[in-house]
Amino acid sequence: MAPRSKTSATPSSPTAGRGSGKRAVVIGAGVGGAAIAARLAHQGFQVSVYEKNTFSGGRCSLIEKDGFRFDQGPSMYLMPKIFEETFADLGEKLSDHLELKRCDPNYRVHFHDGDKMHLSSDLAEMRNELERLEPGSYDKFLAFLKESHAHYGFSIQSVLRRNFEKFTDMITWDNVSSLHKLHMQSSFYGRAAAYFQSDKLRKAFTFQSMYMGMSPFDAPGTYTLLPYTEFAEGIWYPKGGFHRVVDRLEYLAKQRGAEFHYGKPVAKINTTTGPVANAGSVPHATGVTLEDGTVVSADLVVVNADLVWTYNNLLPPSSYARRLTNKQQTSSSFTFYWGLKRKVPELDAHNLFLAEKYRDSFDSIFLKNTLPDECSFYIHAPSRMDPAAAPPGKEAIMVLVPTGCLPDDPSAMSAAEWANMQARAKKDVLRVLQARTGVDFAPLIETEIINTPQTWQAKFNLHQGSILGLAHSVPQVLWFRPSTRHADFKNVFFVGASTHPGTGVPVVLYGARLVAQQIARAVQGGKAGLYASQAGSNMVAILALLAVIVAVVTGVVCAQGGCATLSALLGA
């Protein structure tokens, strides 16, 4: 694992002026790019953002066609406090920028037998629903919430608000003493099964692992924090679409002097091993070259483009870049954006249609890397929350059908096979919709746009078309997740779904905060702080850790009169 540099565990509030006019180039205007641009501009950097597409937001953008408006990706605004903190860090009040509406109920879950369940933040309503499906389950639900509340509290405080640049950053008293409460060794599904007997309730409290792009049978039990945040903090929707978040961040970045350049793909991060004042001759980035040949120089580069793609396409070839391609990715999807000829009251704002063979449906995606025989899918109807999303009397819906990521070898499946798979996904969705809502959607579709795994890959440079980036399995989180700072080119930083802390809009927003703090600390250290290599720091940290462990063990054993045995074991 490549060495990383010093970190601070406590987030500091951003201070204007720290950047002292240094030039920062940001690659990509996704939510991560817009958020870091706003923060760096607020800190006094000269910020230039280069985005390959002609629109902002990346996955968090809008698609508009024939009077219909669709959220390209995110539709569930969760963890509202993180959004508030982001605006507060910029000296702004979120309510001055976003008009939020709370979804009530949170969503409707449709089971294979036609039964439906409303999941709500209203406890009285939940009690009725739970007791109907499994008598006595309301008390268990409260106990499940208590456990998942603990997961949530720990994750916010000790994971999302911290960076892990050194191995030893993970080893705090809080982390060690809380480990057993986090259920990292159990699966998400296993935790729900510990509380509920009913197959339907187990499903209703576990499909949320897909927000992290993981199967509930593989995702660690800690991620039950997701159903917790839905119940405790609610699901919200910004008027005008989710993209409004990015739009306002861009506005605040521009107010602070940042420039945004659209339709300007970056072709290369320019690097050198030339001399740097006060830091000797160290590898560093000098800026970027755009696809049109323009060279843009910078004191530092922040990459918001997909991390695995960037290491393999914008940075010099390395063994680390190749290793990244073998890491576990989340899923891809066939996503259908349908403008419907009439309102469909049979749908809520958020709807889940779960497969009868629930486990098989996840295994097909994550183990076989393909489309399940029987799909579980999600439908978002933005026009149910915000009528402006569709022409009067009509409905805009987005149908997200998760599928496996693209294979490494593009020729592994022919174009005809992909077309068949897409047709099968659509047919399955229409069949299930008719069976479970009684509505034949096929003749209602007036406008259709489809994002396939290939679309996701090409439109946003997402490695293997993975819509949520690198998976959040235990070996790919905390210090084990690709660092927010390049190991060799110390003035190259990463923000977004595949670096720490991970995927999802609020999580990426916290990532931007961590990177802004990291850059501020680096700049405070002068040229040496921004460029100097900290090679060996992890090795030193690991040796120090080993020394501590040996010292502790020695102390314990000696206290028990076992020094002679220990000395013999150590060969002393």
> Which residues lie near ligand FAD (CB under 6 A)?
27-33, 50-53, 58-60, 73-76, 265-266, 304-306, 333, 335, 400, 460-461, 467-468, 496-497, 503-506, 508
What's the CA gap between 96 and 364, in Å, rounded?
45
Residue 457 or 491: the one with the smaller Cβ distance to ligand FAD is 457
Q: Say which residues have a Cβ less than 8 Å from residue 189's Cβ, sequence separation at least 6.
A: 202, 206, 216, 217
Cβ closest to ligand FAD, residue 27 vs residue 201: 27
Distance set, CA 343 to CA 42, 170, 281, 321, 485 (Å):
44, 51, 65, 48, 48
Residue number, 79 or 279, with CB nearest to ligand FAD: 79
E-only strand ranges, 246-283: 259-261, 266-272, 275-276, 280-281
Shortest Cβ distance from residue 478 to ligand FAD (Å)? 18
**DSSP state letter for 160:** I
- How far apart, in whole angstroms, are the C-alpha atoms of residue 468 and residue 86? 21
Q: Which is nearer to ligand FAD, 243 or 527 (CB)?
A: 243
Smallest CA-to-CA distance from 65 within 454, 443, 391 is with 391
Beta carbon nearer to ligand FAD, 267 or 540: 267
Comparing every residue's Cβ against ligand FAD, the nearest one is 30
For the bound state, the minimum distance from the C-beta of residue 304 to ligand FAD, rounded and expressed in Å, comes to 5
Nearest-approach distance from CB 54 to ligand FAD, in angstroms? 10
User: Could you tell me how far CA 471 lies from the centroid of its own chain?
Assistant: 9
* Beta-strand pair 350-353/377-380: antiparallel
**Residue 354 near residue 112 (C-beta atoms within 8 A):** yes
Q: Which is nearer to ligand FAD, 50 or 441 (CB)?
A: 50
Shortest spacing between CB 30 and ligand FAD, in angstroms: 2
CB of 205 to ligand FAD, least distance (A): 18
**DSSP secondary structure of 78-96:** --HHHHHHHHHHTT--GGG
Question: What whole-number distance in Å separates Cα of residue 192 and Cα of residue 203?
Answer: 8
Angle between helices 137-155 and 123-133 (to 10 degrees): 120
* Helix and strand counts by DSSP (H, E) for the chain: 19, 21
- Distance spanning both ends of the chain, measured CA to CA: 31
C-beta closer to ligand FAD: residue 4 or 52? 52
Cα–Cα distance measured from residue 536 to residue 540, given in angstroms and rounded to the nearest whole number: 6
Q: For ligand FAD, give the closer residue by CB, 349 or 433.
A: 349
| Closer residue to ligand FAD (CB): 261 or 322 | 261
Q: How far is the CB of 146 from ligand FAD (least distance, A)?
A: 25
- Shortest distance, CB of residue 239 to ligand FAD, whole angstroms? 16
Smallest gap from Cβ 482 to ligand FAD, in A, equals 12
Strands 46-50 and 377-380 turn out to be unpaired
* Distance of closest approach, residue 64 Cβ to ligand FAD, in angstroms: 17
